[in-house]
């Protein structure tokens, strides 16, 4: 270990050639140090990890007994650079269940490799998280979807993986998980059923769907031809996150539930003059924040009783 002039990281800053500009992957030992840094400072050990998508940082605001860690103060953490992603790891209780929220995630288009984007998931595992709830803002491809709808993710299409870009690339450490993890049950079927049941109980069943999500690299929104192709392949919603986090979570045997907030309808007609933009993503997130907080709160309660 070596000293770092940035204050409270002095004790835990690690000089490690595997974490350098060569962008080699984090080691198990380096992430263990990150986890230890957090464990020594938190008062609750979280059972559930929640990743807040664009415009959905409000999910973290529902926590009681909050302890906040800006990303720049956590050893080895990247820094979020996108509007709507505050950049904090927040610990607390949601319905008396200990949870940790990522208020802001990391994206491939920010210049981070996928393994670095998904690294916080492994840290969650090392601090005791068993279940991951991942949310995202997405464009709706399914003609039945409307702005403000919620899509429970049943499955995904890993477009970046087709191009050979995967968060699990490189040497595999069995302490994280197996070399060839299956993904045919990436999203927990019991949690999917519970999510649909909760929608019924909350009276929002008409705006909650179940579908297939696909992730592209971004940061540009898609062309008409690209969206038409994705729809033909069976995608119901498209975004720029989540898939690599889910792959990493399943690799280390975490149960996963994911949902998309439909913030815009994808343009698949050349005669349509609508232009998707990040501002509408943020606006729809604010519009739906109350129902999203209640939905996630009830899901966390269910997980705690399993």
Options 240, 249, 258, 282, the catalytic residue: 240
Q: Look at the alpha carbons of 231, 235, 241, 245 in this order and tell me if their dihedral is positive or negative.
A: negative
Options 54, 80, 166, 260, the catalytic residue: 54
CA angle 261, 265, 268 (to 5 degrees): 140
Options 85, 131, 156, 244, the catalytic residue: 85
Options 241, 244, 245, 260, the catalytic residue: 241
Options 24, 110, 226, 280, the catalytic residue: 110
Q: Is 174 a catalytic residue?
A: no
Which position has the token pair 């450490």? Answer: 173
Q: Is 156 a catalytic residue?
A: no
Q: Is 241 a catalytic residue?
A: yes
Options 24, 109, 165, 304, the catalytic residue: 109
* Measured CA distances, 150 to 17, 35, 140, 144, 196 (Å): 43, 32, 10, 12, 11
Options 278, 280, 287, 304, the catalytic residue: 278
Chain Cα centroid distance, residue 14: 26
* DSSP bridge partners of 47: none
Q: Is 199 a catalytic residue?
A: no
Residue partners of 231: CB distance under 8 A and separation at least 6: 141, 266, 268
Options 76, 107, 156, 209, the catalytic residue: 107
Q: Is 240 a catalytic residue?
A: yes
Which position has the token pair 């998931």? Answer: 121
Options 62, 134, 137, 254, the catalytic residue: 137
Q: Is 209 a catalytic residue?
A: no
Q: Is 301 a catalytic residue?
A: no
Options 199, 213, 264, 282, the catalytic residue: 264
Q: Is 110 a catalytic residue?
A: yes
Active-site residue numbers?
A: 54, 85, 107, 109-110, 137, 240-241, 264, 278
């Amino acid at each position: 270990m070596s000293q770092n002039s940035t204050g409270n990281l002095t004790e835990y800053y690690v000089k490690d050639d595997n974490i350098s500009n060569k962008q080699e992957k984090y080691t198990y030992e380096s992430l263990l140090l990150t986890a230890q840094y957090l464990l020594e400072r938190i008062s609750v050990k979280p059972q559930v990890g929640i990743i807040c998508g664009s415009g959905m940082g409000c999910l973290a605001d529902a926590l009681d007994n909050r302890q906040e860690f800006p990303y720049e103060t956590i050893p080895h953490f990247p820094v979020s650079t996108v509007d709507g992603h505050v950049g904090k790891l927040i610990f607390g209780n949601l319905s008396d269940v200990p949870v940790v929220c990522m208020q802001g995630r990391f994206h491939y288009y920010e210049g981070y490799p996928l393994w670095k984007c998904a690294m916080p998931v492994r840290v969650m595992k090392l601090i005791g998280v068993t279940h991951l709830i991942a949310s995202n803002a997405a464009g709706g491809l399914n003609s039945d979807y409307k702005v403000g709808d919620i899509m429970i993710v049943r499955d995904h299409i890993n477009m970046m993986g087709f191009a050979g870009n995967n968060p699990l690339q490189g040497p595999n450490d069995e302490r994280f998980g197996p070399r060839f993890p299956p993904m045919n049950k990436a999203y927990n079927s019991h949690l999917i059923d519970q999510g649909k049941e909760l929608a019924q109980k909350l009276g929002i069943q008409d705006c909650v769907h179940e579908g297939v999500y696909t992730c592209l690299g971004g940061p540009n929104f898609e062309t008409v031809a690209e969206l038409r192709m994705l729809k033909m392949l069976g995608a119901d919603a498209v975004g720029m996150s989540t898939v690599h986090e889910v792959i990493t979570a399943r690799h280390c045997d975490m149960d996963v539930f994911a949902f998309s907030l439909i913030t815009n309808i994808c343009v698949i007609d050349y005669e349509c003059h609508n232009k998707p933009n990040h501002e509408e993503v943020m606006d729809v997130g604010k519009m739906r924040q109350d129902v999203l907080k209640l939905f996630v709160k009830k899901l966390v309660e269910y997980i705690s009783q399993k």
